[in-house]
Structure 1
């Protein structure tokens, strides 16, 4: 049956609208990234697991479990275990026969074992040898071969003038531990540390003496003795120690030095970095050190330049004496020598133990092979 013109006229708007909708839908699916996401099957599984009651097992059924089994990975926290062995430092000979505490707690060094048990020689990471206790023929040195991982450390706190040169030691050691700052393991006789809020503020001790000197090792060839002999002609110097037949106890030492305005911190020999407790002890006790030793510049590598008086700053002992007499009458200029106490405090050396513990710290941080050649040239020149 053919359509009449009237029917076509009636249907034409409908057909046109349908074609427009079809074109729009075609363009939409063609140019728009239409993505339908269907729920994962796992969601239903998980929901089923959450909603299902425990399985009911028949009595005696060994293949049935009332526990729900999940695929979730169980997190197990395992505490880290430090498997690094302790560093062993063997004290081969006690310095001058004086034993010291074998703990490094004061140095904040952990996993360090100090020992004098020579049975541990084959296990020791480092062996410490005190120069003044080494026999000239090396008869008291180890007879066994040195293990490949072990380092021998030359330890000496005496100046070259007071240490005998032993030619056979020249290329024997791996490391040096000495007061010199260019040593592998430097251990000065003292050092300054920053003050903390917990430290007590500096208070000037009561002074009733101008200049003091304590000395036991007397040698007319020493520069310090010659300087003293001339200086005493121009200023009163209170003297103590074996050289003057007036030995002091530790308690008396503290009392005497703190009561003096100036202390003669005269070293027995003049060498680079050879700056001993003769400087640090008076500073700690609130006394201005008058130093005789290496250059002023070398002293300033260790302490502030305004904390001491150097004999080389004066052309004669008399000129130095005149300066001390002047400072005795001028409180403001005298107290300026203690300005450093607002920033620093003195920390003394732990003789022997300092070298042993610092050796341990060094070995923990430096595990590569090392060797120290021409020891005699380096130290004795």
Structure 2
């Protein structure tokens, strides 16, 4: 992370920040400046500001194309500058009680939110999405689609490094006492309620669960920090030994696809998927993963897995893209990756999706300056996830039920209160005031502690 500041005539000062970041970095910087410093600076470029401190950049120029340049900062005080043009928001830190209100007509808003609705239900409501002009989310129709944010390249899917022959996979089940299915997850309270389904599935087929959720098998000690080891070579080798891997996301929403989906495909293991209802669109071919929604119950799914586990030909039919190293150019996956102009894993050539969004907004701001009649508007489907569901004791999906559904409905109440406050011209309200007003309309039996878990 960089901490820097410059303008066309200043020296650039860069300090590498290696400790966890907090607002004090920005606050300390602001304290050193006089009251009118930010409003009076002549920056000669549109100013973009991260309202939710994200990059902790105090101020620097970005060059987007040959002629397009913007100044970008995490200092909110730049809003008073005559060149201020747009706010950028990181979705997880977007709070209805802390927004730049009232919003002025010339201000554009951009949303970056690659995370699932577990992090913030506000974007599941159309009135909130309508506040944005530009988006970068996991949805394929977003301005900067991040659906493939966990896939480095098509070559990763075709790579043979971790592929194990089907007969060896079968022998490993005996030699190393491996179950047919692997599950690695340590986030156990999720809107998808995945563990309810998996617990029922475990009654009908063995599953080796290495994470803290439904734990029954230990990872090597060097692999027990989930975020740091999810792409570790030893994790990939371990997953590659199994015939099947559970790829259950923490929330259900179209196009929400993470490393859980890509990892088994990378290593030649068949993913069993629950998450995006249209994940098939991003498969290497039309027969390389299994959806739990194709089976009425976990017992039915288990019967099919048992069949595949004992039929080598049928099993390898799911790995044809891998065994032949072929992905058709007409797949949405291939088309999406060919159009993607950003990289992952600190790609120093193409950059990342954060800089891509910043440049996208910068270029659009320049266009609206040239043509004030030009308007950009985000769509509900740029995020717009459905309400959470759960499972009954037999693993059958249930609508409008469960703890996470109640939290979703409480978020709806907060959004309703927020809209009413804006309609009344009330732009100054606290978190507690918003919360208490939503609580009154949520339900007569509402208990505050239920939503503080």
Normalised to the residue count of structure 1, the TM-score between the two structures is 0.59
Counterparts of 2:190 and 2:111 in 1: how far apart (Å)?
A: 31
Relative to structure 1, the CA distance from residue 116 to residue 317 in structure 2 (aligned partners, 3 Å threshold; closer, same or farther) is: same
Counterparts of 2:190 and 2:162 in 1: how far apart (Å)?
A: 38
Counterparts of 1:89 and 1:338 in 2: how far apart (Å)?
A: 46
Normalised to the residue count of structure 2, the TM-score between the two structures is 0.51
Q: Is the 8 A contact 1:127 1:151 kept in 2?
A: yes
- Equivalent in the alignment of 1:164: 121
- Per-residue CA distance 1:360-379 (angstroms, 9 max, x = gap): 45346643443436759962
> What is the Cα deviation at residue 236 of structure 1?
0.8
Aligned pairs for 1:251-270 within 5 A:
251=232, 252-270=234-252
- Equivalent in the alignment of 1:331: 312
Q: Which of the residues 271, 293, 296 maps onto 1:312? A: 293
- Equivalent in the alignment of 1:50: none
Matched, 1:187 2:127: no
Relative to structure 1, the CA distance from residue 316 to residue 376 in structure 2 (aligned partners, 3 Å threshold; closer, same or farther) is: closer
- Per-residue CA distance 1:30-89 (angstroms, 9 max, x = gap): xxxxxxxxxxxxxxxxxxxxxxxxxxxxxxxxxxxxxxxxxxxxxxxxxxxxxxx99976
Q: Is the 8 A contact 1:112 1:360 kept in 2?
A: no
Q: Is the 8 A contact 1:128 1:356 kept in 2?
A: no
Q: Which of the residues 84, 90, 104 maps onto 1:130? A: 90
- Equivalent in the alignment of 1:204: 163
- Equivalent in the alignment of 1:239: 209
- Equivalent in the alignment of 2:136: 177
**Which consecutive residues of structure 2, in runs of 5 or more, have no partner in the other structure?**
1-43, 173-177, 328-332, 369-373, 387-453
Partner SS state of residue 245, structure 2: strand
> What is the Cα deviation at residue 212 of structure 1?
0.5
Counterparts of 2:300 and 2:119 in 1: how far apart (Å)?
A: 31
Q: Is the 8 A contact 1:212 1:264 kept in 2?
A: yes
Aligned pairs for 1:278-289 within 5 A:
278-289=260-271
Q: Is the 8 A contact 1:195 1:343 kept in 2?
A: no
Counterparts of 1:355 and 1:90 in 2: how far apart (Å)?
A: 17
Q: Is the 8 A contact 1:187 1:354 kept in 2?
A: no
Q: Is the 8 A contact 1:89 1:356 kept in 2?
A: no
> What is the Cα deviation at residue 337 of structure 1?
1.9
- Equivalent in the alignment of 1:224: 194
Question: How many residue pairs get matched?
Answer: 285
Relative to structure 1, the CA distance from residue 217 to residue 112 in structure 2 (aligned partners, 3 Å threshold; closer, same or farther) is: farther
C-alpha RMSD of matched pairs (Å): 4.4
- Equivalent in the alignment of 1:70: none
Q: Is the 8 A contact 2:112 2:137 kept in 1?
A: yes
Q: Is the 8 A contact 2:92 2:119 kept in 1?
A: no
Structure whose CA Rg is larger? 1
- Equivalent in the alignment of 2:354: 356
Matched, 1:372 2:369: no
